Amino acid sequence: MRRFWWLLLPLSALLADLGSKAWILRTLREGESLPVIKGFFYLTLGFNRGAIFGSLTWLPAPARYVLFALAGLAALLYFGRLFVAKETPGWERLALGLILGGALGNGIDRLYRGAVVDFLDFVFGTWHYWTFNLADSFILVGAILYGLRMIVVAKGDHPTPTA
């Protein structure tokens, strides 16, 4: 029963992502920008038809669709299996839940729109970061937590010799 409650994590991340994208699609047109903190943070509607940071846009749309569908399915199966496994510790389950929720959000975009809706837009001086969304944020935070958990586990498996 406890594992059932964990399902609320990826579901919540998914709903937050889809809700934020629905709101931004009702609020802005593609390329339109709304300043939140002028000179630093904007809401700017864009569509990423490629992979991370817009890569692979040179591929024909049907090839991208098949590639992204296969990669997404493989990731969902792999991370989903780890997420529901009884022996998965809480910290790993937290990380995996965020990754799954974000991956599902971006996957639904790709299937439904053929592109991922991006709108969080940051500028640092003269450097303009890539526009992203909540799903990307959930995936990144989940990956960092998962990586940190793996480092802690690895250190625990190989104790430092004492003098």
What are the catalytic residues? 118, 136
| 76 vs 14: CA distance, rounded Å | 13
Q: Which residue from 34, 11, 12 is spatially nearest to 23, judged by alpha carbons?
A: 34
| 47 vs 42: CA distance, rounded Å | 15
What stretch of H or E contains 119? strand 116-124
